Amino acid sequence: MRKKIVAGNWKMNTTVSEGVALAKAVAEKAAGLNNGAGIIVAPPFTHLVSVAEALKGSKVGLSAQNCADHTKGAYTGEVAVDMLVDAGCAWTILGHSERRQYYGETDEKLVEKVRLALDGGLGVILCVGENLDEREAGRHFDVVKAQTENVLFNFSAEDMKKIVIAYEPVWAIGTGKTATAEQAEEIHAYIRKVLADHFGKKVAEDMTILYGGSCKPSNAKELFAQKDIDGGLIGGASLKADDFIGIALAF
């Protein structure tokens, strides 16, 4: 059975106390949700322990925004999977376009990180998506296919049960420009086909594929109504509990 998920990527926003207040507000509103949507929040590293405490007993899951590519040791500034699990995380986002663009995260590096995350017991939200030049050159299918294959084809069908894909066209992230429901659906369906060709139909059918890019309460309904869109990875709108849960209500 495919899971429906709405995940909030807070990026580098909020202080710890603001984050705890936001998490509490999300947890309170999520308690009233009964449409089967899984809710996840991904605060900055510094917030994780306090937000985990704030979410205790709620139905909101906790995610990191990234993890280290090593298990421990002399890697200044990095945070290992074990530390994230210990802090209360059940998930990590990996391969967000901001990490790929500003921190040189490659598909090869992502294979290592996904492996460490899964081995350490974290679920993974793996982001893929084309930039504006690639979209305008008509290369969006090829780019997304390559990102999907380069990372996920190193894993087993069993591993895929702990992975969620987020299709995030880079030109739609934080720009206010949402992909149309048709544009998003055709890529989601294509990703599912790429998975089916390699892993078989069952794995592809069970895969949760989220859309991300200027998703908000006003456009979530049309996006989530598409056959292959199973929810959203939400940036800006996840910083307001009403908007974030408003998106989750769109199923």
Binding site for ligand PEP (CB under 6 A): 9, 168, 173-174, 212-215, 233-237
d(C-alpha 156, C-alpha 160), whole Å: 6
Instruction: In angstroms, give the least distance from the CB of 122 to ligand PEP.
Output: 18
Give SS3 for 46.
helix
The H-or-E segment that residue 7 falls in is strand 5-9
Instruction: In angstroms, give the least distance from the CB of 11 to ligand PEP.
Output: 6
Residue pair 192/205 in contact (Cβ under 8 Å)? The answer is yes
Instruction: In angstroms, give the least distance from the CB of 57 to ligand PEP.
Output: 27
Residues marked active site are found at 96, 168
Structure tokens at 219: 């456009």
Instruction: In angstroms, give the least distance from the CB of 171 to ligand PEP.
Output: 10
Q: At what angle do helices 140-152 and 107-119 cross, to 10 degrees?
A: 40
Q: Please give the C-alpha separations between residue 243 and each of 31, 56, 123, 128, 224, in angstroms, as whole numbers.
A: 15, 22, 25, 24, 15
Closer residue to ligand PEP (CB): 27 or 223: 223
Q: Please give the C-alpha separations between residue 153 and each of 39, 77, 194, 245, in angstroms, as whole numbers.
A: 27, 30, 10, 33
Q: Which amino acid is at 106?
A: T
Closer residue to ligand PEP (CB): 38 or 236: 236
Which residue pairs, CB below 8 angstroms and at least 24 apart, start in 12-16?
A: 12/44, 13/44, 13/239, 14/43, 14/44, 14/47, 14/239, 16/46, 16/47, 16/50
d(C-alpha 126, C-alpha 115), whole Å: 12
Which residue's CB comes closest to ligand PEP? 235
Closer residue to ligand PEP (CB): 83 or 179: 179
Residue pair 64/91 in contact (Cβ under 8 Å)? The answer is yes
Closer residue to ligand PEP (CB): 170 or 203: 170
Instruction: In angstroms, give the least distance from the CB of 232 to ligand PEP.
Output: 8
Closer residue to ligand PEP (CB): 154 or 226: 226
